[in-house]
Amino acid sequence: MQPSSLDELIEALRCLPGVGPKSAQRMAYHLLQRDQRGAARLAGALGHALDVLQHCERCNTFSETEVCQRCANPRRDPALLCIVEMPADLAMIEQTQSYNGLYYVLMGRLSPLDGIGPRELKLDKLIARAADGVVQEVILATNFTNEGEATAHTVASLLAPRGLRISRLSRGVPVGGELEHTDTGTIAQALVERRTV
Amino acid sequence: MAFQPLLMDWSGGGEVKTLVRAEWQGGQPLLGGRALLCGYYLNELLVRLAAREDPHPALFAAYGEAIAALGRNEALVVVLRRFELLLLQELGYGLDLGHEADSGEPVQERADYVFIIERGPVPLGEIDPASIDGLTIVSGRTLLDLAARDFSRAETLAQAKQLLRMLINHYLGGQPLQSRRVLKELQEL
C-alpha cells in the first residue's frame, strides 16, 4: 500500500535535526490545518533554494553565483584566508567588522568517532584554494571544541608544508570578563597559554 | 567536555539516566594537535571494546594516565601501546606474553615466535613453514620487553604495533576503527 500524502509529509519532516515522529506529526498538522499559506511559502522557498544555491567555488559557502559576492569583492584582502566551520561562524566574524580578508567555510568539522574525516570535509578543495599563490596567511577560526581543535590541527599540518603562515584565533578570558565569574576550564587553559607582555 | 575528568552522580535504572550532579575535576590540559587525534583513538577503542555499565577501575585509571601523558606530549606511540596492552589485559583477553603457548615455558629472549590469537607465542620452529604467510612474528626479546612494559627499544615498539593491531582488529570483529581511518587519510593528503 502506498503511504498517504500525510504520512509522506510527516516522514519527510523527520529529516530535520532534533525532530522525532511526534514533533513531525505536530508540524505537519500545523502546516496543513493552521497555516496553509506558510506551508506553500515553505515549499516554494525550499524548492527555489535547492534550485539556485550552490557552493561558492572559492569559499565553499552557499551562493547563487559560481563565485559569491564576498569573494568577488576587490576591496577585500586576498592574502588573508580565514577558515571557519559553518556559515554562521563567518557571519559572526563579519559582524566584528575587524576582518577584511577572505574566507573558506568547511561546512562541518572533523569528527573521527562519527566517521567524518578529510574525505568527507573535502579538504583537498581547501588545499587547492589556499595554495593559489595569492594567499599568504591562513587564520584558523574553527570552534574551540575538541572537534574544532582537531580540525584546526589537521588543516594546519596540511597547509604548513605549502609555505603558508598559519595562525589560530587566540582564546582566554572574554573581553570585559572578570576572573571570579569565568568558568574554571577557561581560566585553566588561559594559564597554560599565558603570554609574555 | 571530552578528555576532562568529571565526578558525576546519576539515577535511574533504564538505559536513559538522570544526571544528578557533575563536577569538573580539572588538572587536565586540553589536548591539541596529534595528541588530540590519539585521544580520539583511545576513546574509540574504549567505546568499541568495553561493555557498557561494566566497571573497570584499573582501566579508568590507566585511561586517565594515558590522557594526562598525551597532554604532556610524551612519546605518543609509547602511550598508545601501553594503553592498548592494559586494555586487552583488563578486558580479560589474558595476554600471557612471557610464556610460550601450550608448554608454559618462559619465552626465550633469543628465539622468534609466532603469536597466535587465544593461544599465545608459539616458537617459530613449531609452525608449518607453508602457513607462515600473514602471521605475526615477534622476537622473544620483544615479548619479554612487553611483559615488563619496557618500550625503550625501537624493535619492541615496531613489533608491538603490529602485534597489538592484529589483536585489536581480531577483537573488533573486523569492523574498522574510524579514528584510524581518519589518521590514515590525513597521511595520504
Helix (H, G, I), strand (E, B) or coil at A63: strand
Residue A10 is assigned to a structural domain of this protein: no
Partner-chain residue, chosen from A112, A157, A184, that has the shortest CB–CB distance to B40? A112
Angle of helix B33-49 relative to helix B154-171, nearest 10 degrees, comes to 40
Q: How far is CA B25 from CA B3, B9, B31, B43, in A?
A: 11, 14, 16, 19
- The residue segments making up the domain with residue A120 are 77-168
Residues of chain A contacting B, Cβ within 8 Å: 110, 112-115, 117-119, 123-124, 127, 146, 149-150, 153-154, 157-158, 184-185, 188-189, 192
- Residue A137 burial class via C-beta count within 10 angstroms: exposed 0-12, middle 13-18, buried 19 and up: middle
Using CA atoms, how far apart are residues A142 and A153, in angstroms rounded to an integer?
10
Give the domain ranges of chain B. Answer: 1-93, 95-175
Partner-chain residue, chosen from B1, B37, B181, that has the shortest CB–CB distance to A150? B37
CB-CB under 8 Å, A110 with B47 = no
Single-letter amino acid, residue B70:
L
User: What integer is the mean pLDDT of A167-173?
Assistant: 91
Give percent above pLDDT 70 in chain A.
98
Question: Could you tell me which residues come within 8 angstroms of residue A135 by beta carbon, excluding any fewer than 6 positions away?
Answer: A78, A79, A80, A81, A102, A129, A164
CB-CB under 8 Å, B30 with A117 = no
From the centroid of its chain, how far is CA A4? 37
Q: How far is CA B99 from CA B77, B109, B116, B120, in A?
A: 25, 11, 13, 8
- Which residue of B3, B182, B183, B188 is the best one to mutate when testing the A interface, meaning the one whose CB has the most A CBs within 10 A? B182
- Residue A60 burial class via C-beta count within 10 angstroms: exposed 0-12, middle 13-18, buried 19 and up: buried
CATH of the domain at A164: 3.40.1360.10
What is the CATH number assigned to the segment(s) B95-175?
1.20.1440.120
Question: pLDDT tens digit string along B50-72?
Answer: 988 888 999 999 999 999 999 98
Give percent above pLDDT 90 in chain B.
45
B47 and A CB contact within 8 Å: yes
B73 and A CB contact within 8 Å: no
Residue A197 is assigned to a structural domain of this protein: no
Q: What is the bridge-based pairing of β-strands B137-139 and A137-140?
A: unpaired
Fold (topology level) of B1-93: de novo design (two linked rop proteins) (1.20.1440)
CB-CB under 8 Å, B29 with A192 = yes
Look at B96 and A53; give whichever has higher pLDDT.
A53
Is residue A33 scored above 90 in pLDDT?
yes
Task: Name the domain count of chain A.
Answer: 1
CB-CB under 8 Å, A149 with B189 = no
Residue A151 is assigned to a structural domain of this protein: yes
What's the confidence (pLDDT) of residue A2? Answer: 59
Do B1-93 and B95-175 have matching folds?
yes
What's the confidence (pLDDT) of residue A65? Answer: 93
Single-letter amino acid, residue A128:
A
CB-CB under 8 Å, B182 with A112 = yes
What's the confidence (pLDDT) of residue B120? Answer: 87
Residue A40 is classified by DSSP as: H
From the centroid of its chain, how far is CA B113? 20
pLDDT band, very low/low/confident/very high, at A52 (cuts 50, 70, 90): very high
Averaged confidence pLDDT in chain B:
88
Question: pLDDT tens digit string along A67-84?
Answer: 999 999 999 999 999 999
Question: pLDDT tens digit string along B115-173?
Answer: 988 888 888 888 877 777 778 889 999 999 999 999 999 999 999 999 999 999 999 98
Mark B127-148 as b/e (b = at least 16 C-beta within 10 Å): beeeeeeeebebbbbbbbbbbe
Give percent above pLDDT 90 in chain A.
73
Contacts of A123 in chain B (CB under 8 A): 189
- Cβ atoms of A69 and A94 closer than 8 Å: no
Is ipTM over 0.85?
no
